[in-house]
Structure 1
Amino acid sequence: MVNFYNRFILGPARIMRPLFAMISAKSKILAWTEEVNAEFTASKNALDNATLLVHPRSNILTELTVDASATAIGGILVHSVEGQWRPLAFFSHHLHPLKFKYSVFDRNLLALYLAIRHFRYFLEGRLFTDNKPLTHAFAMAKDPCQGLKIAAFNIQRFGQSKVDNHVTLDILIQKHIEQALNLVLSQILQRYDLITVEEVMDADNSAVTDLVKELNLSTKLKYNYIISDYLGRSSYREKYAFLYREDILKPQEWYHYDDGCEQCGTDTFMREPFIVHFHSLTTIVKDFVLAAIHTSPSYAVREVNALYDVWNDARKHFNTENILILGDYNAACHYVTESDWPKIRLRQYKKFHWLIADEVDTTVSINTHCAYDRFVVSTEGLLDTVVPGSVKAFNFQKAFDLPYQTVKGVSDHYPIELELKDDPKLPDTYYKPERYIGISGGISGGPCSCEGVDMSSCAGRCGAYSHSFPCSCTTSCSKHDDCCHDYKDHC
């Protein structure tokens, strides 16, 4: 009876899901559980409270609104009657488990397609969807649903102020806010299954937690995050965060790269990489490692060169070459010039592949054209598992017709993205979400000895600075007349 009257009922696929699951099971015995009984009662109530539908008329405006949850999609066909929208019919469809892993964009696009096909005999008016990115899908030449979507995004100085800024938050996760930008669902972060965020300046992680909560609310999925220690040599410090879909991804192990003794000034990186091993249920390669980096512009050549040591350390630590080094390398324009590339092992060794080309612009500014943000993989690692044509910088200003100043308020970088090939075989189970949001990545560094270190020299100490040091090896030391005597020889 529910099937017969389903066009009068809002969301019958969601209501009937446990009942269909029960009768489609291979067992000949029907297990009448409390959940099944509750949904049976809900089905009867839905029939009792069936919506009064209007009769179709060809001379008034007709619209179709679609939406998608994690497990079902639906649409409502409506008429404009005396200035009010009145329902003509409802459409609902339960998703196959293979489609549970689809991104919000993909599920809404599927909802739009199936709803149009279902109501094609009615649709003679205009089409409405609350997901603006779908309007760009009609111009896409390839199927967007090809793999696990990974991104690296330097959200410039990300902290509580950006979460509290409704316009910025709306763009980041596409939460609908009246009288702001009137954008809904699926803009930047919702495009991805796994996002590396750099330049997080959030002492208690509350901003990242709030961001993930809003992301979960908007997508109807379950995201979580793992976050690094505060990293830096001075009062200016940053964190790395990995936001990931909990149903298909799980962090297995992680660590901060040990680049030397910060107390002595012999460490290599201003912000040492944070490295996480993930297990994926849906990709061909089940285990892979992400190493997040945000280099110091002043020492970009030295730090990008040292990323080879990071790759080698992660390879030994996790016994794999399935490593992706991603983030803001600052490896372009005047920070890393053509004459610098021969000094960089990660560029000179033929086994490494820079997936974001030098001519790509990953910056928002109209005054720059620089490929600061990069992906690097190895031939024996993830190279063959990357979906061809999926690597790019996502220009969200152009994609969503945003004013330049609004985009600058979000970040001075565009996210870079790629996809890892899906496993055609469905996983037997999916991960259950954690009861809490946020995983601490632990503490970086540790006790170290400065014995034998010449604190009056810059040899091996470029970038070293502390009030306790007799002299400095920073790029600004000449302005303060406190450079070590051999600063120019080494730094």
Structure 2
Amino acid sequence: MTKGITVALAVALGLPTTAAANMTIGTWNLEHLGWDNGKRLDDVAHIAKGGDLWALTEVMDEAAVSQLESELEAQTGESWSSMTSHEVGRSSYQESYAYLWRDSQVEYTQGAVVYMDPGDEFAREPYLAEFRDVETGDKVAMAAVHIVYGDSRADRTPEIKQLAEIWDWMREVYPDSARIIAGDFNLEPDHEAWQLLRDQSASPAITSGATTLGTTDGDYANLYDNLWFDQDALDFTGSGIVRFPELLNLTHEQARDVVSDHAPVYIGVGDVGIVDLDETTSTDSGPRCIDINEATVSRLDELPQVGPARADDIIDARPFESIDGLTRVDGLGPARVEDIEASDMVCSL
């Protein structure tokens, strides 16, 4: 068996090799890939070689994808393939999407297309394609998406809601495939705008943590990057956020300059085990502690003495150096903070 997540991620990132999955699928906003911005494709490839199939956003030049493919082949000694969409966007600023995959594990089957968007709902229409696991024959239909940022969350929600239409359309076009919508959504997965997609049995792979790099080392701000998958059809074995600055020994300032201001996220697909990653990679494969410096509102709401409004206050008061710092939040006196600590639900700081 090809151990997609065990071997690939372990070799690339120095992670443990005690779990396996048939295929590792990731998504990464590579922040203007192809512009003359000093991007280190060798560093990008060092992280990307940990996966088998990638959906890339913010691609500015198809040639840069080909160069990344060549760098991956040089580092892995394996054959890789890629394809890039035409440019999409309503203004003079336009981007492309790309798919990048390891030939020994994944093959493209059919249906690469930029969504026609009959209602002109998307500023950047999604890019879709179907792929097959070489070993198992299982098919996955992918939609790469980069949701418009706009001036506020209200500008992002119409496109998020429209993803439910994409989801339904994918069922018709790729009837034999498990569905995944991957990309940079510029909106956290617990926002109410996602309800239409949730109602169709779609689930986010990442539900806590953050994927955008802050300017301070170790600081991650927003959970914008994700993979929404078909929970009734996909053999999901785990997920994670790759904190690549630590893995590449880069400061956040350096990482933002030469790699990206977004961290990649991934899922394991297959019939073996749960993803087993070390502390350098934030995993999302089951119940675990709540990081008060990174958790979303919905996760903080699980803590005793904390509701949605107080969760917002906790986020506004970050960062915390210890649980005791929660006393800075209005309504959380020493006794209530003791209750939170006694719950053993909070990650060590």
Normalising to structure 1: TM-score of the pair?
A: 0.50
What are the superposed Cα offsets for residues 399-427 of structure 1, whole Å, 9 maximum, x if unpaired? 33322211112111000011111589xxx
User: Which residue of 2 is the match for residue 445 of structure 1?
Assistant: none
Q: What is the CA-CA distance between 1:353 and the residue it aligns to?
A: 1.2
Corresponding position: 1:277 with 2:130: yes
User: RMSD in angstroms over aligned alpha carbons?
Assistant: 2.7
SS in 1 for 2:40: helix
Aligned mates of 2:183, 2:13 — CA distance in 1: 25
Counterpart amino acid of residue 21 in structure 2: Q
Aligned mates of 2:13, 2:194 — CA distance in 1: 42
User: Which residue of 2 is the match for residue 250 of structure 1?
Assistant: 107
Asked if 1 retains the 8 angstrom alpha-carbon contact of 2:21 and 2:268, the reply is yes
Q: What is the CA-CA distance between 1:107 and the residue it aligns to?
A: 7.2
User: Which residue of 1 is the match for residue 205 of structure 2?
Assistant: 355
What are the superposed Cα offsets for residues 39-58 of structure 1, whole Å, 9 maximum, x if unpaired? xxxxxxxxxxxxxxxxxxxx
Q: What is the CA-CA distance between 1:143 and the residue it aligns to?
A: 1.4
SS in 1 for 2:144: strand
User: Which residue of 1 is the match for residue 187 of structure 2?
Assistant: 331
User: Which residue of 1 is the match for residue 172 of structure 2?
Assistant: 316
Q: Structure 1's 217 and 103: CA in aligned 2 closer, same or farther, altered over 3 A?
A: farther
What are the superposed Cα offsets for residues 149-192 of structure 1, whole Å, 9 maximum, x if unpaired? 11100000110535xx4x7223112xxxxxxxxxxxxx311101
Q: What is the CA-CA distance between 1:108 and the residue it aligns to?
A: 10
Aligned mates of 1:244, 1:401 — CA distance in 2: 26
User: Which residue of 2 is the match for residue 156 of structure 1?
Assistant: 31
Q: Structure 1's 246 and 368: CA in aligned 2 closer, same or farther, altered over 3 A?
A: closer
Aligned mates of 2:4, 2:270 — CA distance in 1: 14
Q: What is the CA-CA distance between 1:378 and the residue it aligns to?
A: 2.5
SS in 2 for 1:414: coil
Q: Matches of residues 204-219 of structure 1 in structure 2 within 5 Å?
A: 205-219=62-76
Asked if 2 retains the 8 angstrom alpha-carbon contact of 1:151 and 1:192, the reply is yes
Aligned mates of 1:108, 1:207 — CA distance in 2: 23
Asked if 2 retains the 8 angstrom alpha-carbon contact of 1:255 and 1:276, the reply is yes
Q: What is the CA-CA distance between 1:235 and the residue it aligns to?
A: 0.9
What are the superposed Cα offsets for residues 107-146 of structure 1, whole Å, 9 maximum, x if unpaired? 796xxxxxxxxxxxxxxxxxxxxx7833xx3xx4x61443
Aligned mates of 1:411, 1:327 — CA distance in 2: 14
User: Alignment partner for residue 407 of structure 1, among 241, 252, 255?
Assistant: 255
Structure with more contact order per residue of length (Cα contacts < 8 Å, sep ≥ 6): 2
Asked if 2 retains the 8 angstrom alpha-carbon contact of 1:304 and 1:344, the reply is no
Aligned mates of 1:278, 1:342 — CA distance in 2: 28
Aligned mates of 1:154, 1:218 — CA distance in 2: 21
SS in 2 for 1:267: coil
Asked if 2 retains the 8 angstrom alpha-carbon contact of 1:105 and 1:190, the reply is no
Counterpart amino acid of residue 241 in structure 1: A
User: Which residue of 2 is the match for residue 290 of structure 1?
Assistant: 142
User: Which residue of 2 is the match for residue 474 of structure 1?
Assistant: none
Q: Matches of residues 447-466 of structure 1 in structure 2 within 5 Å?
A: none
Aligned mates of 1:209, 1:237 — CA distance in 2: 19
Give the total of aligned pairs: 264
Aligned mates of 1:342, 1:288 — CA distance in 2: 25
Aligned mates of 2:193, 2:96 — CA distance in 1: 30
Q: What is the CA-CA distance between 1:300 and the residue it aligns to?
A: 1.5
User: Which residue of 2 is the match for residue 189 of structure 1?
Assistant: 48
SS in 2 for 1:215: helix
Aligned mates of 1:104, 1:375 — CA distance in 2: 16
Counterpart amino acid of residue 309 in structure 1: E
Q: What is the CA-CA distance between 1:380 and the residue it aligns to?
A: 2.1
Counterpart amino acid of residue 127 in structure 2: F
Stretches of structure 1 lacking an aligned partner (at least 5 in a row):
1-97, 110-130, 174-186, 261-265, 425-491
Counterpart amino acid of residue 36 in structure 2: S
Q: Structure 1's 210 and 321: CA in aligned 2 closer, same or farther, altered over 3 A?
A: closer
Q: Structure 1's 306 and 398: CA in aligned 2 closer, same or farther, altered over 3 A?
A: same
Corresponding position: 1:133 with 2:13: yes
Counterpart amino acid of residue 151 in structure 1: G
Counterpart amino acid of residue 51 in structure 2: Y
Q: What is the CA-CA distance between 1:287 and the residue it aligns to?
A: 1.1
What are the superposed Cα offsets for residues 13-72 of structure 1, whole Å, 9 maximum, x if unpaired? xxxxxxxxxxxxxxxxxxxxxxxxxxxxxxxxxxxxxxxxxxxxxxxxxxxxxxxxxxxx
User: Which residue of 1 is the match for residue 240 of structure 2?
Assistant: 392
User: Which residue of 2 is the match for residue 229 of structure 1?
Assistant: 86
Q: Structure 1's 161 and 243: CA in aligned 2 closer, same or farther, altered over 3 A?
A: same
What are the superposed Cα offsets for residues 286-313 of structure 1, whole Å, 9 maximum, x if unpaired? 1110111000012310111100100101
Asked if 1 retains the 8 angstrom alpha-carbon contact of 2:179 and 2:230, the reply is yes
SS in 2 for 1:297: coil
Aligned mates of 1:105, 1:342 — CA distance in 2: 35
Q: Structure 1's 161 and 102: CA in aligned 2 closer, same or farther, altered over 3 A?
A: farther
Q: Structure 1's 106 and 394: CA in aligned 2 closer, same or farther, altered over 3 A?
A: same
Counterpart amino acid of residue 103 in structure 2: E
Asked if 1 retains the 8 angstrom alpha-carbon contact of 2:4 and 2:22, the reply is no
Asked if 2 retains the 8 angstrom alpha-carbon contact of 1:282 and 1:423, the reply is no
Aligned mates of 2:59, 2:88 — CA distance in 1: 10
Counterpart amino acid of residue 100 in structure 2: L
User: Which residue of 1 is the match for residue 192 of structure 2?
Assistant: 341
Counterpart amino acid of residue 276 in structure 1: A
What are the superposed Cα offsets for residues 56-107 of structure 1, whole Å, 9 maximum, x if unpaired? xxxxxxxxxxxxxxxxxxxxxxxxxxxxxxxxxxxxxxxxxx4xx4569827
Asked if 2 retains the 8 angstrom alpha-carbon contact of 1:226 and 1:243, the reply is yes
